[in-house]
Amino acid sequence: MKISKKQVFSIIFFLALTFSFLPVYGFSFPVLAQSSGETSLFQGQEGMAEIGNVYGNNKPEDIRLVVVKFIRLALSFLGIIFLLLILTAGFKWMTSGGNDETIVKAKKLLINSIIGLIIILVAWTITTYLIYVFSKIIIDQSVLFLNAN
């Protein structure tokens, strides 16, 4: 196997570029703002546990917030699946070797995954809007309740 001058130049260029960033990112040391014998700023504060208890550190979470977090997690998972489908379709298309049947299957997978993305985005938009509307209604009702007392 003969190595051309272009390949040698590209390897040298790649290595020079890689090693040029090494002093910046490769040999960095952490800088500590205080000596190791002292306590940290958070540990040195008095009453941090009591403040956390007052501001809801130990309170149970509202079921609506749990549902919202679950919906967002599910939609994020569907987005990851979409990304994997797009990568799979692109890989099939690139490795088809000119085979028309494989290209047609890859195009079909790509189109179906884009349709799925549109459905995911519409579902995300609707849920975000409904969460906004419901939270506004709940906040307005609580303000009315507090003003009535």
- Domain containing 148 equals 62-149
Could you tell me the two tokens for 104? 């047609």
pLDDT-above-90 percentage for the chain:
20
Q: Is the pTM of this model over 0.95?
A: no
Do the Cβ atoms of 103 and 93 come closer than 8 Å? yes
Cα gap 20→35, rounded to integer Å: 33
Q: How many domains does the chain have?
A: 1
Q: Is residue 149 part of a domain?
A: yes
Q: Is residue 53 part of a domain?
A: no
Q: How confident is the model at residue 92 (pLDDT cuts 50, 70, 90)?
A: very high
C-alpha to C-alpha distances, 103 to 87, 116, 134, 135, nearest whole angstrom: 14, 20, 46, 47
